[in-house]
């Protein structure tokens, strides 16, 4: 059996955060959030990690990651460029300055990944249970007609300090994904959860599964993504801020009958950094996990 690969999306511009949060240290010894994800992935059984990065950050990125990962897991690097998979005769907005989003980033790994694989964000802390569930799914259930998404409990992904954006998953009776409803402003109000849409307030079930961009795919997703991206560029290439997101591929996959996407639930606590103000909370959360014995104080020693 070929073991699955971990693919980490680390090419984001980090515009709201203001710096390269992917390589910022939050652990006791300046471990990055990615360090904890990779550590959990190794514990789960993964033997290879592919980083999707911006080529201009290659030297800095490798200098930070390679010394601590050497001998622990195989590494590979993929670059996401604006022109990747864009035909020379395609019409693209001259105002476009950054690549085309998460599904485009995954597509850039096409030549490097030949086995079932897991996709995660670099700046999200997913927890050990999520990686164990993802590894099990990739090795026992993932196929060209059955993908997976790790579903986190909504209440465990919200902030007490304000609203956030979350993709709330709707499942059928068999736990298969039907749709992901993007809630761009969802928040606690007392002990209840609400979201706003078109100026109105609606209640949401705090136990609902949500997508934190933690996916399980077979290599078959590359051909599908390439076809959809070509169509996307034809239709939206002149939009300077258009994004080709993973849910676009997922929606097409299930809505055209090409296959199903299993929602794989986890009870793990999620946390992440979007704004600089999030950093102290992330540091405190990691410190609590280390003090509880979930992780060693020096992760790679």
Give the model confidence (pLDDT) of 283-296 as tens digits.
Answer: 999 999 999 999 99
Q: Is the pLDDT of residue 20 over 70?
A: no
Give the contacts of 290 (CB within 8 A, at least 6 positions apart).
Answer: 27, 28, 296, 297
**pLDDT confidence of residue 117:** 98
Task: Give the Cα-Cα-Cα angle 201, 205, 208 (nearest 5 degrees).
Answer: 125
Tell me if 36 sits within 8 A of 79, measured CB to CB: no
CA distance 179 to 134: 20
pLDDT band at 98, cuts 50/70/90?
Answer: confident
pLDDT digits (tens, 9 = 90+) for 103-147: 999 999 999 999 999 999 998 999 999 999 999 999 999 999 999
CATH code at 5-145+211-291: 3.90.550.10
* Rg, C-alpha atoms of the chain: 19
213: left (phi over 0), alpha (psi -120 to 50) or beta: left
The domain limits of the chain are 5-145+211-291
**pTM score, whole prediction:** 0.91
Q: Is the pLDDT of residue 15 over 50?
A: no
- Rounded to an integer, the average pLDDT of 42-50 is 97
Three-class DSSP category at 159: coil
Q: Is the pLDDT of residue 67 over 90?
A: yes
pLDDT band at 13, cuts 50/70/90?
Answer: very low
**pLDDT confidence of residue 21:** 54
pLDDT digits (tens, 9 = 90+) for 145-163: 999 999 999 998 887 777 8
Q: At what angle do helices 58-69 and 33-44 cross, to 10 degrees?
A: 40
Instruction: Return the sign of the alpha-carbon dihedral for residues 202, 205, 209, 212.
Output: positive
CA distance 75 to 149: 23
Instruction: Return the sign of the alpha-carbon dihedral for residues 159, 163, 166, 169.
Output: positive
């Amino acid at each position: 059996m070929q073991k699955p690969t971990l693919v980490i999306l680390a090419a984001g511009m980090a515009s709201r955060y203001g710096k390269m949060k992917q390589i910022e240290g939050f652990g006791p010894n300046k471990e990055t959030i990615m360090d904890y994800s990779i550590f959990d992935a190794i514990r789960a059984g993964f033997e290879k990690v592919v980083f999707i990065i911006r080529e201009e950050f290659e030297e800095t990125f490798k200098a930070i990651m390679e010394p601590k990962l050497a001998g622990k897991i195989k590494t590979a690097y993929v670059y996401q460029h604006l022109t990747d998979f864009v035909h020379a005769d395609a019409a693209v907005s001259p105002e476009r300055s950054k690549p085309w989003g998460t599904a485009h980033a995954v597509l850039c790994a096409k030549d490097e990944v030949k086995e079932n694989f897991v996709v995660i964000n670099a700046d999200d802390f997913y927890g050990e249970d999520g990686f164990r569930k993802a590894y099990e799914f990739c090795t026992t259930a993932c196929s060209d007609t059955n993908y997976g998404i790790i579903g986190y409990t909504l209440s465990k992904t919200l902030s007490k300090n304000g609203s956030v954006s979350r993709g709330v998953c709707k499942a059928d009776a068999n736990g298969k994904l039907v749709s992901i409803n993007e809630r761009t402003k969802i928040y606690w109000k007392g002990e209840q959860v609400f979201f706003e849409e078109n100026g109105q307030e609606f209640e949401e079930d705090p136990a609902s599964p949500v997508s934190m961009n933690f996916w399980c795919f077979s290599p078959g997703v590359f051909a599908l993504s390439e076809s959809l991206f070509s169509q996307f560029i034809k239709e939206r290439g002149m939009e300077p801020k258009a994004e080709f997101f993973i849910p676009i591929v997922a929606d097409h996959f299930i809505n055209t009958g090409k296959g199903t996407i299993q929602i794989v639930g986890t009870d793990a606590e999620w946390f992440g950094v979007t704004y600089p103000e999030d950093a102290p909370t992330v540091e405190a959360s990691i410190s609590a996990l280390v003090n509880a014995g979930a992780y060693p104080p020096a992760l790679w020693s």
